Amino acid sequence: MADPPLHAASAAALDAARAAIVEPLQRVLGWVLGHTDPATGALICREHGVEHTGKSAGAVVLATELARHAPEADRDRLFDVARAQCARLADRLEREGDSTCFTFRPGRHDPYNCSNSVIDGGACSDALATFVLAFGDRLPADERERYAHASVLHAQTYLRYAIVDKGVPAQCAWAMTGAAQAFRLSGHEVLRFACEVGEQRIAARQRADGSFPYHPEDWGAAHPGAGDASAYYQSRVTAFMSFALESALGTEAGAAADTSAPGAFDFLHGLVGPDGIKVGSVEAKPWYWGAEYEVASHPFDIAAFAVEWRRTRAPRAAEAMRASWRSWLSHLKASGEPQSHHPGLHGERPRSKSYQCPFFWAAHACWIARSIPELAEALASEVREPAAPRGWRLFGDVDLARLDTEDVVAWVRGARPPGNRSHGSPAGGLLRVYSHATGGDLYQAPYLERRAPANWSGSAGGFNLARGWRSGAADLRFSTWIARTRVRAGEGAAALGVPFQALRRSVACFASSAVSTAFVRDARLQGPSGVEVGLDCGLAFRDGSAAGGRFERRFRQVGEALEVEERLRDSGRARGLWFRPPVGATVLEDEPEHIRYRFGRGADEGTV
């Protein structure tokens, strides 16, 4: 008998699934509202000491969407929450001096807002329009007009220009969300047209493998590493553009106009493991994160997969939604405060605090709330996705290969843009190995270890301050600002250590004599050829500059296992050359110049 369709869930199962989604989102909203200033009604971030207006907009959308699905007894309260914050947003709209632009403050005007005018403005115009479209008939005419006017005025005087001007695709797409919703209120064709042009502009920068650069070099990136792919931003671009086009053009026409989506979905699926966690080493902005992974982007992942599910009914979309939701939920505190990652150790180093604050991540939960119908369908169904195609897949433009077997999922990276501590993916070679049996990782590439497992490491030359200063001087300057934010948050002791940490990680580490195959940035993957991927390379200093040596590296599927074979052909000028297989691997051969190890069951262990 054939399996029933994935969306064939009973009404009772759907109701239970919706309730299971609404309850934690209610906790998130409650945690956000715990930041309310009783005198003004503003939501004041405890960490940064400001009203993150663009994130207060997320609270508006979160409350509005929850009001559609929450128990009836909660709906009036949620309406009042959204209404009060809409009044705050409208009050924060100001003219930019003698400019024709009207923007929502603080935007770029307060550095402790940790945002800019296009991000805040896209969110604010979107939120005001979302509330008016949902509940305008419950508002007095003058109040409804005030919110609608603020949304449209900002979109007309600022967002429609930002869409075709900003150099970061994710920011352009966020501007599109506000312009599209303002178009629904006003019918101003120029806003719809701007969204169509924005999609074309961003799609023109999308790579053939479906990935988006975080900040393209020809769009003004300050560092070439910023043009790398980003596990954090990939779904944000996709979810925002899809939402904007469907809002401005209608569901069917918006889907047809969304030319980047099919490839973008494929690349996003390529990044996401069976546990919902993305391979964090593929990241143009590693300075954002205090760990080797993050779940702060999962609300955008869920929103993107919800779009794919609506359009295609592809079982993989429902499977990915479930996994992303469960991993995000496992990081949510009982209070409703989100976390970007769990505390603890990774390799030899403790995980640390991420740059953004939990207030940001809580506001972003509104994109989960927008996906409640699709997520509920995914959670209500017990039908699983058919087994994914086994073997290697290559995402050639970012030189990333992924292996799927019954036992493991693994990622290997070859060439990547130049980088430093802040920009560009921090590691190449073997990035992550996930075990189906344990439901966790057997290996994750560490960010800063001098002797990273699964890589050849050693020393060459001596300490080179000029090399370190080129790589990390800007980070050192920026660290003083981060220290000030810690002081504002009442973390005086932690603040004192920030510049010293930057001096060590951004300057001293890059100036050191340490060399590794993990630091190589110009070696391309060979293959996949059948069951094997090759990565022949030398050694490099942490900034990617060559340090000699020659190694043959092979990553092959053997049965249901990933088998890795490493051969040293020439040590070059390296001293103290060293290799350590990952702790989660079974070592098959271990000689000074030849190492072979395995994750999972090999063909000699009874696996077909």
pLDDT value for 388: 64
Mean pLDDT of the chain, nearest integer = 94
For the residues 165-186, what does the mean pLDDT come to? 98
1 falls in which pLDDT band (50, 70, 90)?
very low
Are 593 and 573 contacting, i.e. CB atoms less than 8 angstroms apart? no
3 falls in which pLDDT band (50, 70, 90)?
very low
Identify the bridge partners of residue 534 per DSSP, sorted by sequence position. Answer: 526, 554
Q: For the segment 490-501, what is each residue's pLDDT rounded down to a tens digit?
A: 888 888 899 999
Position 78 pLDDT exceeds 60: yes
Q: CA torsion sign, 69 to 75 to 78 to 80?
A: positive
Q: For the segment 532-558, what is each residue's pLDDT rounded down to a tens digit?
A: 999 999 999 999 999 999 999 999 999
pLDDT value for 248: 98
11-380: CATH topology: Glycosyltransferase (1.50.10)
Please report, for the chain, how many H helices and E strands are present, in that order. 19, 19
Q: How far apart are CA 530 and CA 390, in angstroms?
A: 12
Position 311 pLDDT exceeds 50: yes
Residues carrying CATH 1.50.10.10, the chain: 11-380
Q: For the segment 208-260, what is each residue's pLDDT rounded down to a tens digit?
A: 999 999 999 999 999 999 999 999 999 999 999 999 999 999 999 999 999 99
Q: For the segment 357-380, what is each residue's pLDDT rounded down to a tens digit?
A: 999 999 999 999 999 999 999 999
Question: Which positions ≥6 away from 319 have C-beta within 8 Å?
Answer: 378, 384, 385
DSSP E strand stretches across 308-363: 345-346, 349-350
Question: Which positions ≥6 away from 27 have C-beta within 8 Å?
Answer: 332, 334, 335, 336
pTM of the model: 0.96
pLDDT value for 68: 94
Nearest to 47 by CA among 362, 278, 467: 362
For the residues 129-134, what does the mean pLDDT come to? 98
Q: Where are the alpha helices (DSSP H) in 48-91?
A: 53-69, 72-91
Question: Which positions ≥6 away from 265 have C-beta within 8 Å?
Answer: 210, 238, 304, 305, 308, 317
